[in-house]
């Protein structure tokens, strides 16, 4: 199995494992607290020490489920880097008066969201807080003030963003004394606009590693019936056969082949699938193999 070595995700840190364990589906895994702890320890033993959360995951339940497991062995906290997100407000039983899903990057909401996440997870500090989605009403000065307050009180060490465009990233960075440390974006062979819209170019220029969500396109690459999904799946299988690998390993290798060095987020609660993702690091796609997948997705040759 490929050995995992922690990597700095930006010039100012922090150090993350080169693959990240995502917990957005934790509520679907139907695990007991002890099973959750065992899974957490298992992927830590494999070298995956960074965990990805958001306040809204599992309709606001996943952070608490993770916290229940962590409470069984608090010493595990020293072995992991905790990432969480805020700014999406969901229509939920937890917010019965809310009429629509919307975004909120106000000072008050950011502070309250972090306090809620810390309480649910059962930790004193988030290693990285991400703004989950761009907010059309975001006041960059207000966000900067919230982050300054959170850092002052030791509740958040680093700030990053998720799904931000280069201009949105630059706007927020212009108001911060500390550097943003990542942009968590969707990267998979069906949806990879960030490769061409300047997002990954910006991160490569800044030597900031993106976090890549939905690398497997939510399973669409395996069971989607669109013409695009069918073309890509067939091409992935041919390349997997060439490399003696599995389709999911080729997908992860395709994402990690990008020069911005994305950190793929693994969404499975099956430790064997986690091991398979780790083994993808030993694959090297040639440029031609990488572009064969690009062409299959686009449905045409390169210009």
Question: Pick from 240, 264, 221: which is nearest to 48 by CA?
Answer: 264
Which segments within the chain are labelled E, that is strand?
7-8, 15-16, 20-22, 50-52, 81-86, 88-89, 102-103, 126-131, 156-162, 183-186, 211-213, 263-266
C-alpha 59/C-alpha 80 separation (Å) is: 24
103 classed as catalytic: no
Catalytic residue among 15, 23, 57, 252: 57
Give the Å distances, CA to CA, from 137 to 126, 134, 227. 25, 9, 38
* Eight-state DSSP code of residue 95: B
Q: Where are the beta strands (DSSP E) in 211-252?
A: 211-213
| Closest to 262 (Cα-Cα) out of 244, 275, 246, 280 | 280
CA distances (Å), 20 to each of 30, 91, 170, in order?
Answer: 21, 28, 25
Task: Please give the Cα distance from 283 to 252 (Å, whole number).
Answer: 9
| List of residues 6+ apart from 121 with CB closer than 8 A | 53, 63, 64, 66, 67, 70, 82, 84
Q: Which residues are catalytic?
A: 57
């Amino acid at each position: 199995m490929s050995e995992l070595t922690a990597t700095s995700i930006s010039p100012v840190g922090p150090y993350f494992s080169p693959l990240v364990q995502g917990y957005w589906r934790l509520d679907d895994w139907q695990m007991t607290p002890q099973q959750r702890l065992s899974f957490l320890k298992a992927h830590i033993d494999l070298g995956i020490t960074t965990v990805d959360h958001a306040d809204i995951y599992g309709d606001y339940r996943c952070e608490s489920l993770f916290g229940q497991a962590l409470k069984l062995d608090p010493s595990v906290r020293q072995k992991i880097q905790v990432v969480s997100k805020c700014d999406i407000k969901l229509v939920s039983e937890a917010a019965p008066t809310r009429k629509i899903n919307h975004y909120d990057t106000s000072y008050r909401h950011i502070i309250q969201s972090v306090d809620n996440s810390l309480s649910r997870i059962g930790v004193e500090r988030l290693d990285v807080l991400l703004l989950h989605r761009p907010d059309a009403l975001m006041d960059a000065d207000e966000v900067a003030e919230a982050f300054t307050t959170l850092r002052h009180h030791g509740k958040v060490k680093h700030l990053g963003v998720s799904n931000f465009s280069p201009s949105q990233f630059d706007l927020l960075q212009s108001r911060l004394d500390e550097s943003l440390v990542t942009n968590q974006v969707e990267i998979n062979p069906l949806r990879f606009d960030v490769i061409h819209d300047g997002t990954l170019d910006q991160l490569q220029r800044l030597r900031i590693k993106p976090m890549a969500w939905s690398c497997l396109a939510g399973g669409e690459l395996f069971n989607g019936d669109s013409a695009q999904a069918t073309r890509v799946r067939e091409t992935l299988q041919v390349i997997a056969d060439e490399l003696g690998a599995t389709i999911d390993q080729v997908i992860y290798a395709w994402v990690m082949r990008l020069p911005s060095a994305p950190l793929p987020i693994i969404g499975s609660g099956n430790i064997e699938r986690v091991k398979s993702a780790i083994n993808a690091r030993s694959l090297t796609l040639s440029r031609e193999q990488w572009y064969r997948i690009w062409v299959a997705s686009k449905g045409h040759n390169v210009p």
